[in-house]
Structure formats: C-alpha cells, structure tokens
Amino acid sequence: MGTLLENSEGSGTVMNPDLTYGALDLGGASTQISFFDPNQDIMSNLFKLQVGAAKHWNVYTHSYLMFGANAAYERLNARLYYNATRDGLLETNRGAYNPCLPRDSIVKFTSKIHVDPITGMAQWPAATIGNSSSTDGTYTTLVRNDDAIVTSRNLSNEDDAQKCVQLAYALLNKDASNAWCNFEHKNDCSFAGVYQPPLPLQSDHFGEFLAFSNYHHVFDFLDLDDRSSMQQLRDGITKVCNMNISSIRDFNSRKKEKRRATEEDLVQYCFRASYTFALLHHGYGFGMDKFITAKHKINGHKVTWAIGSVLYEINTLPWNYEKSRAPAPDYHPILDLIKKHLSLYIALLAVAICAVAFPMYTCRKKTQTSKDRPWNEQESQPILQNGLHGTNESEVDLNCETDGNLGMHQRDGYHGTS
C-alpha cells in the first residue's frame, strides 16, 4: 500500500512509480497474475486501479477459472480416466495410470468432469448445465502408480518427474487454444488463448513477482528458499516425483509439525509442484534463470485475496488523497475526537437527560394524583390491563412505586407499602 499511495498523488496516469511488484496467486479453483506495465501498452485484460480522486494505474490482470491446483488435478485424472477407457485399459489395469502419484500408491478418484472425444477438451455432463433428465455424470475409478500397472502396460517409472511435467503442461491448453491469440496479438499470449503482454524485466522501477497461496505451499514442501529460480523449482520436482510412497512419507515426517502435509495432500505434491512449474515456465513465460518469491506473509501481514477485493471495491471512489502529517506534540487522539464532535456529544447528552427525566416526572405526577384521591375512590375505579378488570394501580404501573421513585412494585394484591 505504501508504493500505491505514495505514487497516486495528483491526477492522470501513474507513469514511472518508484518500485512495483508483480503478483501471482494459485488457489484451488483458479489462478491469477497481475502486474503494472510501465509501457502502458495493454491490449486486453486492463484494469485501471484508482484509489480515490488520484492517479490511476494501468494494471494487467487475468484470472483463469478451473486452472487452480485442485481443479487442475481433477482435470488431469479425468483425462487419464478417459484415455484408459478409450484404449480399453481401464478394466484390465483396474484403474488409470498416473505417473504424478508417488510410486506404489493407489488413490480412489471421483468426478463429474468428462472429456469430449472429438475436441479432447474437458466438459461437464449435460445434467450440470440444465438437462435434468439425464444422470449427473458422476463416476468413480482408481488412479495408480504401482508395479502392477507399470508392468502390464510395459511402462517405465524411472522418470516420473518428466512425465508429470508433460501432463501438467498439456492441461494449459496452450497448443490447441493459442493459435488465434498468437496471430491476433503477435505471440503476446500466455495459455488457454489468453493475451498477456511481455513480463516486465527487473529494474529500478520493477522488483520481481511475489507468489502466494499454493505457490508458497509448494516451495515450502520442496524445502526451497522463498526466493528461488525456475531451475531450482524444476530440480525440486525431480527429487519429489521420483520418490515412492514410503520415501515421501518419511520426507514429510521430518518436517516441523505445522509444515507437514496431510496424507491426502501428500500424494498430490508431485503434481502440484509440476503444475506450478508448468504454469510459471510454460504458461506465463518465466525463463529458467528467473526468480520469484513465494511468501505467506509480507512485513508480518498475511496476504490473502481479501486485500485485492478491498482495492477492487474502493476503486474510483471519490476520495481525496492527503499526505499524512506528523501530529502536534500535544496531540491526543481522544481529546481531538471530542473536540471535533463536541456539538454532537452535547446533543446526545441532552437527549439522554430527557429520556431519564420525563418518565420520572410523569411517575411522580401520577403518584401524587393517586395519593390525593380518597381510598374508596381508588377502590371504585377498576383499571383495564391485559383484558383483566379490577386490577389495582400498583399492578398496572410497573415503572412507578407509590413514593414516586422508579422501580418495580411488590405484587401483594393490595395498595400501600410495608
């Protein structure tokens, strides 16, 4: 926020800010990239960020739905299930071969994602898009990477890391979907047919990219430094993906308790690491010698999507930007607040006094009137309260005692006090 506010003063467009960083987020269902383009040449996916009545920032940003870590893992297994079914191997092998799993592991998989036999693209069953007459399309199968399936298909699991990276790359739909984008934008495209300007180079005005969420979890699991290169990430993939299930469990158990992965997550980390690399290197275009910093907190503050949501919601609100000024030596925040709103406090105090005084005055007047009447006159005047006749005054007025003070009566069924 410091860089954002300090460079927003004035009007027009931010041109050469002091220092900016790119942002990368990888959630479960979607993934995002955002950065300020100093060349101001953004042909698509432009977001004009403006905090108040100040300069606006031309930010490139895009969110890729169904490209999050969990969604990608589900799409991968759906494709492997389709391939095994198409080739008639599903029943023979009692499941689909998945080299992204640790060796000697078998996992049950349930999904509604199918693959179009013509286009090869993922699709939902008809029931989920409005055709309630058909089944919901849910299926369950096994995905496995064990000696039985490797032997039956004459496969080799000596380089599961490379196989998994290739499968992760295929999930980006880069080859099939980028043809028109590359023509339209002269190869300035990321993946899935989405335009992306060239990544900014590190300079005096641009630091580098900061990565959050699952990027941080992957770096942490691989024991990488927060700031690591694409080559270091790729080396970590080779290490983890070539482990069997026993080795990766042992590797996980040696971590501090708060850093250990659950059993469900543990079998997915080869894929998550491979998919992270595919996104960064093949998708966005980070070179093997480029570094990113994957963090959970920045300057002690946890980074979440909520911060970006706040910036989005306050965008273009008509606020005036004012530089913060040092408070005077005798400044006291409470006294300053009282001074600013003194008239309001006086009015509220007057209302409070009236709210207390008026019932007291009314009760005293009513009680005095009751005392001035003869006893038999009081007894001869039945009072209607809640549909009951003949209730005495002490049972009706729950806020006034016979001496005119505020309080509750003794319900003894007769007038007078002890």
Question: What are the pLDDT digits (tens) for 10-69?
Answer: 554 555 566 788 899 999 999 999 988 766 667 777 776 766 555 667 788 899 999 999
Same domain, 264 and 390: no
Same domain, 123 and 110: yes
Same domain, 120 and 35: no
CA 138 from centroid of its chain's CA atoms: 27
Q: Please report which confidence band the pLDDT of residue 107 belongs to, taking 50, 70 and 90 as the band edges.
A: very high
Same domain, 41 and 177: yes
Phi, psi of 10 (to 5 degrees): 105, -155
pLDDT of residue 378: 42
Structural domain contains residue 117: yes
Mean pLDDT along residues 315-336: 60
Same domain, 197 and 74: no
The domain boundary, picked from 137, 162, 187, lies at 162
How confident is the model over 213-262, as pLDDT tens digits?
999 999 999 999 999 999 999 999 999 999 999 999 999 999 998 889 99
Rounded to whole angstroms, the Cα distance separating 280 from 285 reads 6
In terms of average pLDDT, the best of 134-143, 253-262, 339-348 is 253-262
Quote the mean pLDDT of the chain.
77
Structural domain contains residue 329: no
Structural domain contains residue 327: no
Rounded to whole angstroms, the Cα distance separating 31 from 196 reads 14
pLDDT of residue 1: 47
Same domain, 283 and 400: no
Total domains in the fold of the chain: 3
Same domain, 187 and 299: yes
Same domain, 52 and 113: no
The domain boundary, picked from 314, 347, 382, lies at 314
User: Which residue type occupies 133?
Assistant: S
Tell me how many degrees the CA angle 46-48-49 measures, rounded to the nearest 5. 130
Rounded to whole angstroms, the Cα distance separating 332 from 39 reads 46
Q: Does position 145 have pLDDT exceeding 90, yes or no?
A: yes
Which pair of structure tokens corresponds to residue 109?
Answer: 């998989």
Same domain, 48 and 184: yes
The domain boundary, picked from 103, 135, 162, lies at 162
Structural domain contains residue 213: yes
User: Lowest-pLDDT range, 32-36, 295-299, 335-339, 404-408?
Assistant: 404-408
CB count within 10 Å of CB 84 equals 23
Q: Does position 391 have pLDDT exceeding 60, yes or no?
A: no
Q: Does position 393 have pLDDT exceeding 50, yes or no?
A: no
Mean pLDDT along residues 94-103: 93
Q: Are 324 and 5 in contact (CB under 8 A)?
A: no
Same domain, 208 and 307: yes
Residue-range definition of the domain harbouring residue 371: 334-418
